[in-house]
Amino acid sequence: MTHDNPRSIALELLIKTEKLGQYSNIALDKALEGSSLSSPDKRLASVLFYGVTEKKITLDYRIAELSDRPIESIDIQTLSALRLGLYQLMFTDKIPPHAAINETVSLCSRKSSGFVNAILRSHTRKPPMALPSKESNPLEYLSVTYSICTELCDKFLGIYGFEKTEAIFKAFGAPPPTTLRVNTLVTSREELTRHIDGAVKTQFSPVGLSVRGAVRDIYGFDEGMFFVQDEASQICVSALDAKQGMTVMDICACPGSKSFGAGIDMKNEGKLYCFDLHSKKLPLIESGAKRLGISIISTQEQDGKLPLKEFFGCADRVLCDVPCSGFGVLAKKPELRYKSPEASKELPKVSLAILENASNYLKPGGVLVYSTCTLFPEENQNNVLAFLDKHPEFELAPFTVGSLECKQGYITLLPDEYPTDGFFIAKLKRKNT
């Protein structure tokens, strides 16, 4: 891979992820780490790679309008170059069209350069892309407009209806903010805000900041003054209400941000047990805790569905951030736009099994928080209500975080209504009797 050209890096990554199905963030981080690009060029490579990944269906629809060749017959290298060039022409306003075309064509082989050049120049001469009809074909309209596969569009339509689905999809298209959770063991939100240009306090979380720029370059990173955590996740930890001296269990803990938040809320006093199915991920928690100065965390490999009987009835707080389909975070994970919900149909059973098992760890009067980053009821409130039907010893507990009041004990944070990831939180209390 050429390491001094942002478009070249973006194109190589697009081809690689198309062939191998890699996660976009992992592939990009690895590529940029090994490059000699300047910071502005790294930003350009990121914008192009993520942008094309996010807009793939829209771009392919335009290619099909402009090309005599069926899109299925275009090889991956050529198709990726076409997407890269068209993305610059359709969705960026700071790249001149001649630069977008010439720079993209220069990356193509002799065999494909003429075809790519012709398609890109044709786009600049022809009328803008004609979208499918919203009235006669709402499914295809949503899919092409927001670049989300038809199976997923159909799923959202069945749950939320057309107007709400489109509002959610528009929110998925907005650039997600970088949100920090302040480490109040070492500083305050007010103090950190004074040192970070452009930092804005989060709307609901009392310990969050929205910021710009590369996280590692922000004031206080090396000193452990913050970690990255979406506001929805911060709200979830606040609902847990972990306190000094408590015993807390995080059942599906990796990569650890909720554990860190709980440890800070506990003022680094008490016991905080962090479990995860994947032992290879546990060092992420250990290294993060060390940077933040949290010493009460202990980690252990454990399947959340399987009981640890020695912990039954021991915990004051239990956090179940269960495995889910992830269909609330399309803004941050663009590859999920092309994932059929059918691939996640077994997850509600898995999540409910984890909830059932985790409930055994609570003391009477203890609190369990169940959360996901999806927007589908079968993984969210349906699981919680099914659990409560079987367990009269539990009840929903209202909670308040900042100005956010959840009187019924559970809430779906829809991204068109809240400045957060799409997220679900339920707070359950074990009765004293």
pLDDT of residue 24: 78
Sole residue written with tokens 């044709």: 122
What is residue 150's three-state secondary structure?
Answer: helix
pLDDT of residue 3: 52
**Residue 55 bridge partners (DSSP):** none
Rounded Cα gap, residues 321 and 285, in angstroms: 15
Q: What is the CATH number of domain 6-125?
A: 1.10.940.10
- Active-site annotation holder among 108, 252, 274, 373: 373
The three-point CA angle 419-425-426 to 5° equals: 150
Please choose, from the candidates 240, 215, 242, the residue with its C-alpha nearest in 3D space to the C-alpha of residue 226.
Answer: 215
pLDDT of residue 28: 83
pLDDT of residue 1: 43
Q: What is the CATH number of domain 232-430?
A: 3.40.50.150
Residues forming CATH 1.10.940.10 domain(s) in the chain? 6-125
Rounded Cα gap, residues 346 and 350, in angstroms: 7
What is the chain's pLDDT, residue by residue, as a tens digit (433 residues)?
Answer: 445 789 999 999 999 988 877 677 777 888 888 778 888 898 899 999 999 999 999 999 999 999 999 999 999 999 999 999 999 999 999 999 999 999 999 999 999 999 999 999 999 999 999 999 999 999 999 999 999 999 999 999 999 999 999 999 999 999 888 999 999 999 999 999 999 999 999 999 999 999 988 888 899 999 999 999 999 999 999 999 999 999 999 999 999 999 999 999 999 999 999 999 999 999 999 999 999 999 999 999 999 999 999 999 999 999 999 999 999 999 999 999 999 999 999 999 999 999 999 999 999 999 999 999 999 999 999 999 999 999 999 999 999 999 999 999 999 999 999 999 999 999 999 998 6
Sign of CA dihedral 389, 390, 393, 397: negative
Active site residue 373: yes
Residue 366 phi, psi dihedral angles, 5° rounding: -75, 165
Please choose, from the candidates 139, 135, 132, the residue with its C-alpha nearest in 3D space to the C-alpha of residue 165.
Answer: 139
Residues forming CATH 3.40.50.150 domain(s) in the chain? 232-430
